[in-house]
Structure 1
Amino acid sequence: MTIALAMLLLPVLVKAQFSISGSVSEKSNQVLPGASMRLKEKSTGATANAEGKYQLTNLKAGNYTLVVSFVGYQTIEKKIELSADQIVNFSLSPSAFLADEVIVRATRANEKSATTYRNLNREEIQQNNFGQDLPFILNNTPGVVVTSDAGAGVGYTGIRIRGSDASRINVTINGIPYNDSESQGIFWVNMPDFASSIENVQIQRGVGTSTNGAGAFGGSLNIQTLAPSEKAYAELNNTFGSFNTLKNTVKVGTGLIDNKWSFDGRLSRVKSDGYIDRAASTLKSYFLSGAYHGKNELLRLNVFSGTEKTYQAWSGIPESRLKGDIQGMKDYAANEGLKPEELENLLNSGNRTYNPFTYKDQTDNYTQNHYQAIYAKQFNEQFSFNGALHYTDGKGYFEEFKLKDKYKKYKQPGVIVDGELKDRTDLIRRRWLDNNFYGLTYAFNYQPQSNLNFTLGGAYNEYRGKHFGQVIWSKFPIGLSNTDHYYDGKGNKNDFNTYFKVNYSPIDQLSLFADLQYRTVSYDISGTDKNLEPINFSNNYNFFNPKVGATYFLNQQSNIYTSFSVANKEPNRDDFTNLKKGLPSPKTERLNNVEAGYRFNDNTFNVGVNVYGMFYKDQLIFTGEINEYADAYRQNVDKSYRIGVELDGAYVISSKFAINANAAFSRNKIKNYVDYIANTEEDESTSLIVNTYSNPDISFSPAAVVSGELVYKPFKGFAAALQSKYISKQYMDNTQSENKMLKAYWVNNARLGYDFQIKGIKNINLGLLVNNILNKKYESNGYTYSYAYMGDITKQNFYFTQAGTNFLLSLNLKF
């Protein structure tokens, strides 16, 4: 936190010495606005304006290599000996092939977009890739909070942006939706080591630009997979660390064959015992890609898959166990009906590593296969197209042991054993999900002149999901075979959206945009749920999501922007199937999002300041409660809001020192919140206790998220970084009770990296990541629930603890 706060106080201006300026055009002398200029091996760059002009200022005397690039054109490198101001003009030639960046261009923001975003390139991703899931690689970006069920970043992990959970974050891979259609969540455990196949990521906060798939209510992650290397390569990446964490990755690529063809592949394995008891993960994945690169067209086929076997660690640790309160644990066991064996496990486990599950195969098992066919065509200088066909199939189950489970839960009669009626039996069950997701995406881009650009895009997708359960073993006969389904449910969802975007610059300094999206969704749920309750919901939604904004360039280094966006979103499956009796069916949500900010980008210093307001109607709010399958309960609230300010910057102090830092400060409130507590009477009838709260904080929405990184490069090839992250307190429900809270925490990590070469090996990288170097004891997530018996209320809190000091050591070889 100290590093981040220090960064925010650094001076904005650095005294200029020399400059490099000029223009960028193509051979026909048509200017290329948006061309990228950067100094090689330095964090200094600029972008050509609407007239194709650029300027790099505040440069010391010396030798530089200036790299100029633009989508669809050959990159140029030019060495410059700088001892005075210089004017250097560039003329780019069309590339021999269409660049992969066109695949994601339609759904991405750029320097002219009046939205808030951060780009991460391949180098930034790889230097933090030690085998942990992608959320932990994105952890040092503004407003991000991450968590891990197993406590060490491998297995089930989660991410929140601006307090919004994963179901509010739109994720696309090459413009293709990734969010699960029914839960709208993101399951990174199904794509282990996917970071090793990523070229870049754009993180948009707020509503952002129109994209495909689930609506963005907190942010978007726009992922582009690896672009081809010009030369053939092979890589071996290996990591070993605490909790027997192991990552092995093999990557190969042909480079460009005949300047037209390329093939790339990756095979990965990630294993970890986890910090929590028995929270082991065995994860496997592969990524295959082949492409044809024409002068004006690109055809790419991607096939990637992930298989996971993860021991369940999603129940958290009861507050009494966390505090070591023996009597509290006994009271908890009595209130929750724990069996003697379960109480013994509770009493004899570690305060911070307790896992209620002890059955050896209490695991989650799932395989997901992705197929993508992507085509892009540049018809002429003004008109281009890109589109994709995609198919994803997934199938898996979680297995669990149930001790003395009731026959009536499976709608089966009891059995007589040795003359005694048995109404309970030990059993093992599996709960299955078998689903398919397929569709297409498209985008047409037309730029009739340099200051005007149109994009027409969208997608149509279908989802077909089957939910069913099996009892594969029981101590006493239960009347079901291993293959019988004791419940069957279906979820069918069709999702169509189309958007039209216009960017117009009436003068050089001003860029205006309008972005209009129409989305229609039909979602049908039928059959029986996991509790054998009948379900029958048929829903059709039509949404109009307009966005407008403006960016004004004060000069070549800085601009100001503002935008207004509207987003609408449908409820997810759990909002229907977990609906508490007596509460109305969930309604759609609406968000009005206002953003305004300032960006400054110089050779040694860049900073962005953004203020935002997110105003909701009928927002679906987490109540803090989950059921036994870790499904979180949500309910609509009439009016709520998030307002805040975000700062994001970097400062190159010298050739050896640099600082990166960001901070997000926010106020997140519900105007009036109604809390419902189930109250059971002696006759087992149930009513609701209703409490009303005025202006409480929204659950899991910290008021402050601050991150900083100090980088030190004492000599060529070596870099050390100290990373620091502060998260203020969070409430686990919406009553703003100090007794239902995650405490604030401040965590520090250290990363070391050394690159060198030996004969026969292109590059060797040794890396070390030490997490939580100060051994902070903290909880990054949790849940709470309350219930009453004859008006006497019982409260239960549960926490997800994160590992103390731990390390990951990597050895990466490039050939």
Structure 2
Amino acid sequence: MKKLTNWLLSGVLFLIVSTVFGQGKITGTITDNELKTGIPGVNVAIKGTSIGTVTDIDGKFSLDATTATGQVVLSYVGFETKTLNFTVANGQTIDLGSIVLVADADQLDEVIVVGKGIIDLAKERKTPIAVSTIKSAEIREKIGTSDITHMMVNTPSVYVSGQAGGFGDSRISVRGFQQDNTAFLLNGQPINGMEDGKMYWSNWSGMADIANAIQIQRGLGSSKLAISSVGGTVNFVTKATDMKEGGFVSTALANDNYFKSTVGYNTGMSEKGWGASFMLTHWQGDGYNDGTYGEGQNYFFSVGYKASDKHSFNFLLTGAPQQHDQNFTKKISDYLGFGRRYNNNYGYLNGQYVSERVNFYHKPVANLNWDFKISDKTELATVLYASWGRGGGTGNYGGSANKKYVMQTNPYTGDSERTYIDYDQIYANNQALPNGEGAFSNGYLIRSSVNNHAWYGVVSNLKQELSKNLVLNLGLDLRTYYGTHFRQVENLMGLNSFNDTRNLRGANHQTDPANPASTLVTQSVAVNPWKSLFKTTDENQRLDYDNSERISYGGIFGQLEYSNDNFSAFFQGSLSNQSHQRFDRYDYLPQYEDSEKVNNTGYNVKAGGSYKFNENNSFYVNAGYYNRQPYHDNIYLNFTNEVNPLTSNEKILGLEAGYSFKSEFFSANVNVYRTTWEDRVVSSSRTISNATGETIGTTPVAFGDLIYISDLGVKQIHSGIELDAVAKPFPKLDVRGFLSIGNWKYDGNAIKRTMDENQRLLLEETKDVHGGRVGDAAQTTWGLGLRYEILKGLSVDTDWRTYNDLYSNVGAVKENLMLPNYDLVDAGVSYKFNIGKAQTNSIVLRVNVNNVFDEVYLSELTSTIKTTDNIPAVGTAPSIGTYQANGRVYKGIADGNQGYFGLGRTWNFSLRYNF
């Protein structure tokens, strides 16, 4: 017994000695590879033990080690997990120094604590894809006064245009495909227009404030939805209910009297699992171009509830009511004569500024996310969503002869030209009419073209782990959409009433002179994005058109993926049906108001695989085929109830492959792709800029009229190569670069249809477009970005981009016009410092300068006039010859071409206080 007791005492003494003298201490500081600042809250643990800690506000940590050797595991949401070996002697303290964690796009979805929904991010498919991710810190730094599209300009094969049109009027192309052929998702909710697939960024002016991240998946993407992400898929991941209590206030100033203020607050998650977040923003500014004033608000509200480990819910409501005056394309000669900021869409009435073209909209969006963890191997994610769009755009209504202009001499051409709108003369003419009653033949008013909708949908995805290596996803995508379109009077301009007449259509969809109708309009509704939610004119007070459509959509989708440590393969498929019906209350006899109902079925399949050679090198291939239904606006001919016989399902075949290299100090991706598209519709627009107007077909069109061009039955072939790379040659220097070379062409013949703004068909013709270059996006781009940390909290960054092989946006043509190449340089300075006794609050200062060297460039053209073409005659005067012979050429381009100059040098300053 005594011997046993001695053995026990010896053992206890040995354990005590081992514990006391075998302990060491490990310290270090963990920083963000992008922001170069300490990361608070990082989990630090010794592998295989229960010993762990988290970093403090500066990213520092200290923990005890009970073993002489081992591994420290560092993990944090949104960053790659890092494992470090250590060796520590008894009583020794070792400092691991500064440890850099690398941002990980694959963990992007985990920034959403509650309500992940069905957000389709690259992480959900292990097979690599061509993807770029932009996180909230970079968005806050660089967005300035720009649309959210500006955040994607440093991405391969992405081109942003239309900024000169006004706040929210930009457009984005991916791999040469316009935004109606790129899928945009908000927390898993499809947001492309149901009627035409387009995106109107003015409706999403608050996206920069609420976005947690943007992920651009070029090409086939990883989306499991029953959508055709031909150009790519852009996922906007918004903020959700935050676990941490705190908030911020910020303010921003910029060129042209821009001002913005924002406040936000998070309650944090309570012990019972509840939490809420909200944010409010107001902005206003004069706009870069003349006559492009804008103002708006943004609201965001989110409530989260974590009912249990199995159930999480998040409700989100956001909206961005706004209004902004617009600029349309002009002749280059107009800009050269009146300045690059020239805009003639406005005038003065009794000395007060009046814009003829105002876009106004309010689109509240609500969604409810439910995440259900059924078991360790089964998860169900569902989002219910709704949006209610209200608003439209203003313009003139009445005969073109009734619109009066102030005449000025163009200093560049010497010609007398119509410039600003003479509202004083228009007002006087209207008041001189008998009883103040105007008509199309003798009156002028400002109308609002209203586009309202109600959209409801549900997307649900079931994820089942069939085995360790095999995962199955099955899902459902249901939507219903009801849109209403009509015109109402915004400003009678001195009239008491307006008599609008038309001939109603019959069974054959043709106007019937035997059935005339007229509406005496006396109501007017002023532009107001808030009031537009509830206030519109009565149906008997609408003019020009009044119609609606119902679009119903049902789709199922699935994905099966196999993966092990080095190899992965997947197969995706979807099947969908769309139904369309149009209702015309204005142009048809009552018994013919309802159109024929049209149903179309479509599908897509995708497959691919990847192989990981080692930790640094991997390779992938993807292929997909889409059979996509035409958009609603292409189904009904010339905006009537007549079904267009030329529309059919579009056929798309996509092939892509890529190689990735990844190391601690350098990573790069190379992607090659080829996409063929048949039976598609290409649309463009332009403004009549000749003082004498034009004749299209047999119909005269007037100065200032908008003309819409659609090409049907088009085949396109897009191929190219993309490269993006990130390097860290020095601890405080980051270098990023990208290169994209595209070859985007039309093939075969197309049917060209030209319409005016009143939706009348002016001309239809067949044309050869074989070999024509696709316009509206630069086919060759490259760029380089640098970020350098001067000292703690203070950094500078710059981005340089060059654009080549940019062609006019004129739809499908055989001979397109190439614009001059141009380069842009943006730069910024950031300074962040902590304040308060506990140093837990911070202030962030940021200055951006875009187009630092004030590059003068053409960002887009909407015509193809050659230098050898004759200058149009003015009035009865004879032609003076060609543009070339008269020296009317700008950088190799005939100055009669219409388009936009890009923005010159702009700046913005922001101040943010985090608490």
Cα 1:194–1:590 change in 2 (3 A) is same
Q: How far 1:272 sits from its partner (Å)?
A: 1.9
In structure 2, the partner of 1:703 is 779
In structure 1, the partner of 2:577 is 520
* Aligned equivalent of 1:321, options 325, 328, 334: 334
Q: How far 1:452 sits from its partner (Å)?
A: 1.1
* Aligned equivalent of 1:589, options 618, 634, 650: 650
* Paired residues of 2:159 and 2:778 also in contact (CA < 8 A): no
Q: For structure 1, which segment, 543-552 or 105-114, has the greater mean C-alpha deviation from structure 2 after superposition?
A: 105-114
Q: TM-score w.r.t. structure 2 length?
A: 0.71
* Paired residues of 1:394 and 1:435 also in contact (CA < 8 A): yes
What is the alpha-carbon distance in structure 2 between the residues aligned to residue 363 and residue 531 of structure 1? Answer: 29
In structure 1, the partner of 2:251 is 238
Spell out, residue by residue over 1:280-329, the C-alpha distance to the aligned partner (whole angstroms, 9 max, x if none).
1112110000101232221000011110111122x2122331343xxxxx
Cα 1:690–1:521 change in 2 (3 A) is closer
What is the alpha-carbon distance in structure 1 between the residues aligned to residue 77 and residue 437 of structure 2? Answer: 80
* Aligned equivalent of 2:132, options 112, 118, 134: 118
Cα 1:621–1:279 change in 2 (3 A) is same
Cα 1:401–1:253 change in 2 (3 A) is same
In structure 2, the partner of 1:334 is none
In structure 2, the partner of 1:609 is 670
Q: Which amino acid aligns with 2:319?
A: S
In structure 1, the partner of 2:460 is 442
Q: How far 1:450 sits from its partner (Å)?
A: 2.6
Q: How far 1:428 sits from its partner (Å)?
A: 2.2
In structure 1, the partner of 2:615 is 556
Spell out, residue by residue over 1:690-720, the C-alpha distance to the aligned partner (whole angstroms, 9 max, x if none).
5524311122242202122111112111111
After TM superposition, list the pairs within 5 Å mapping 1:461-610 onto structure 2: 461-472=479-490, 473=492, 475=495, 477-478=498-499, 479-482=520-523, 483=537, 484-486=541-543, 487-505=545-563, 507-527=564-584, 536=595, 538-576=597-635, 579=638, 585-610=646-671
In structure 2, the partner of 1:714 is 790
Q: How far 1:540 sits from its partner (Å)?
A: 1.6
What is the identity percentage for the equivalent residue pairs of Structure 1 and Structure 2? 20
Cα 1:433–1:227 change in 2 (3 A) is closer
What is the alpha-carbon distance in structure 2 between the residues aligned to residue 692 and residue 529 of structure 1? Answer: 37
In structure 2, the partner of 1:807 is 907
What is the alpha-carbon distance in structure 2 between the residues aligned to residue 554 and residue 102 of structure 1? Answer: 32
* Paired residues of 2:669 and 2:724 also in contact (CA < 8 A): yes
Q: How far 1:458 sits from its partner (Å)?
A: 2.5
* Aligned equivalent of 1:784, options 847, 863, 866: 863
Spell out, residue by residue over 1:661-714, the C-alpha distance to the aligned partner (whole angstroms, 9 max, x if none).
11110101112244759799xxx9977665524311122242202122111112
Q: For structure 1, which segment, 269-278 or 764-773, has the greater mean C-alpha deviation from structure 2 after superposition?
A: 269-278
After TM superposition, list the pairs within 5 Å mapping 1:384-403 onto structure 2: 384-402=379-397
* Paired residues of 2:223 and 2:233 also in contact (CA < 8 A): no
* Paired residues of 1:213 and 1:495 also in contact (CA < 8 A): no
Q: Which amino acid aligns with 1:745?
A: Y
* Paired residues of 2:601 and 2:629 also in contact (CA < 8 A): no
Aligned residue for 1:207, secondary structure, equals coil
What is the alpha-carbon distance in structure 2 between the residues aligned to residue 525 and residue 82 of structure 1? Answer: 71
* Paired residues of 1:97 and 1:296 also in contact (CA < 8 A): no
Cα 1:404–1:572 change in 2 (3 A) is same
Cα 1:304–1:70 change in 2 (3 A) is closer
Q: TM-score w.r.t. structure 1 length?
A: 0.79
* Paired residues of 2:859 and 2:900 also in contact (CA < 8 A): yes
**Number of residue pairs aligned between Structure 1 and Structure 2:** 712
What is the alpha-carbon distance in structure 2 between the residues aligned to residue 292 and residue 418 of structure 1? Answer: 63
In structure 2, the partner of 1:426 is 444
* Paired residues of 1:132 and 1:193 also in contact (CA < 8 A): no
In structure 1, the partner of 2:17 is none
- Residue 752 (1) aligns with residue 770 (2): no
Q: How far 1:227 sits from its partner (Å)?
A: 4.1
Spell out, residue by residue over 1:328-387, the C-alpha distance to the aligned partner (whole angstroms, 9 max, x if none).
xxxxxxxxxxxxxxxxxxxxx434422334333631221111111110011211001110
Unaligned runs of 5+ in 1: 1-37, 46-51, 53-61, 87-95, 325-348, 408-414
Spell out, residue by residue over 1:375-416, the C-alpha distance to the aligned partner (whole angstroms, 9 max, x if none).
001121100111011111111132234464589xxxxxxx98
State the superposition RMSD in angstroms: 4.0
What is the alpha-carbon distance in structure 2 between the residues aligned to residue 209 and residue 120 of structure 1? Answer: 17
What is the alpha-carbon distance in structure 2 between the residues aligned to residue 535 and residue 160 of structure 1? Answer: 36
Q: Which amino acid aligns with 1:187?
A: Y
In structure 1, the partner of 2:739 is 663
* Paired residues of 1:622 and 1:699 also in contact (CA < 8 A): no
In structure 1, the partner of 2:203 is 190
Cα 1:420–1:397 change in 2 (3 A) is closer
* Paired residues of 1:151 and 1:801 also in contact (CA < 8 A): no
* Paired residues of 2:481 and 2:551 also in contact (CA < 8 A): yes
Q: For structure 1, which segment, 511-520 or 191-200, has the greater mean C-alpha deviation from structure 2 after superposition?
A: 191-200
Cα 1:217–1:679 change in 2 (3 A) is closer
Q: How far 1:175 sits from its partner (Å)?
A: 0.7
- Residue 308 (1) aligns with residue 322 (2): yes
* Paired residues of 1:151 and 1:274 also in contact (CA < 8 A): no
* Paired residues of 1:717 and 1:754 also in contact (CA < 8 A): yes
What is the alpha-carbon distance in structure 2 between the residues aligned to residue 618 and residue 418 of structure 1? Answer: 53
Q: How far 1:576 sits from its partner (Å)?
A: 4.9
What is the alpha-carbon distance in structure 2 between the residues aligned to residue 289 and residue 700 of structure 1? Answer: 38
What is the alpha-carbon distance in structure 2 between the residues aligned to residue 435 and residue 808 of structure 1? Answer: 35
Cα 1:104–1:184 change in 2 (3 A) is same
After TM superposition, list the pairs within 5 Å mapping 1:614-653 onto structure 2: 614-622=675-683, 632-653=708-729
In structure 2, the partner of 1:735 is 813
What is the alpha-carbon distance in structure 2 between the residues aligned to residue 420 and residue 306 of structure 1? Answer: 37
What is the alpha-carbon distance in structure 2 between the residues aligned to residue 161 and residue 530 of structure 1? Answer: 38
In structure 2, the partner of 1:68 is 75
In structure 2, the partner of 1:272 is 285
Q: How far 1:117 sits from its partner (Å)?
A: 1.4
What is the alpha-carbon distance in structure 1 between the residues aligned to residue 664 and residue 442 of structure 2? Answer: 71
Cα 1:450–1:98 change in 2 (3 A) is farther
In structure 2, the partner of 1:229 is 242
Task: Report which structure shows greater RCO (CA 8 Å, sep ≥6).
Answer: 1
Q: Which has the larger radius of gyration?
A: 2
Q: Which amino acid aligns with 1:609?
A: V
Aligned residue for 1:199, secondary structure, equals strand
Q: How far 1:653 sits from its partner (Å)?
A: 1.1
Unaligned runs of 5+ in 2: 1-28, 40-47, 49-59, 63-71, 87-93, 100-109, 348-353, 403-431, 500-519, 524-536, 689-703, 874-878, 884-893
* Aligned equivalent of 2:478, options 450, 460, 467: 460
What is the alpha-carbon distance in structure 2 between the residues aligned to residue 638 and residue 124 of structure 1? Answer: 39
* Aligned equivalent of 2:296, options 271, 279, 283: 283
What is the alpha-carbon distance in structure 1 between the residues aligned to residue 764 and residue 654 of structure 2? Answer: 35
In structure 2, the partner of 1:372 is 367
Cα 1:129–1:453 change in 2 (3 A) is same
* Paired residues of 2:712 and 2:750 also in contact (CA < 8 A): no
* Paired residues of 2:575 and 2:604 also in contact (CA < 8 A): yes
Q: How far 1:496 sits from its partner (Å)?
A: 1.3
What is the alpha-carbon distance in structure 2 between the residues aligned to residue 109 and residue 318 of structure 1? Answer: 47
Spell out, residue by residue over 1:37-56, the C-alpha distance to the aligned partner (whole angstroms, 9 max, x if none).
x96423699xxxxxx9xxxx
Aligned residue for 1:130, secondary structure, equals coil
Q: Which amino acid aligns with 2:780?
A: A
In structure 2, the partner of 1:356 is 345
The structure in which a higher percent of residues are strand is 1
What is the alpha-carbon distance in structure 1 between the residues aligned to residue 761 and residue 223 of structure 2? Answer: 48
What is the alpha-carbon distance in structure 2 between the residues aligned to residue 508 and residue 75 of structure 1? Answer: 17
Q: For structure 1, which segment, 295-304 or 670-679, has the greater mean C-alpha deviation from structure 2 after superposition?
A: 670-679
What is the alpha-carbon distance in structure 1 between the residues aligned to residue 83 and residue 246 of structure 2? Answer: 22
Aligned residue for 1:136, secondary structure, equals helix
* Paired residues of 2:710 and 2:752 also in contact (CA < 8 A): no
What is the alpha-carbon distance in structure 1 between the residues aligned to residue 231 and residue 291 of structure 2? Answer: 33
Q: Which amino acid aligns with 1:42?
A: N
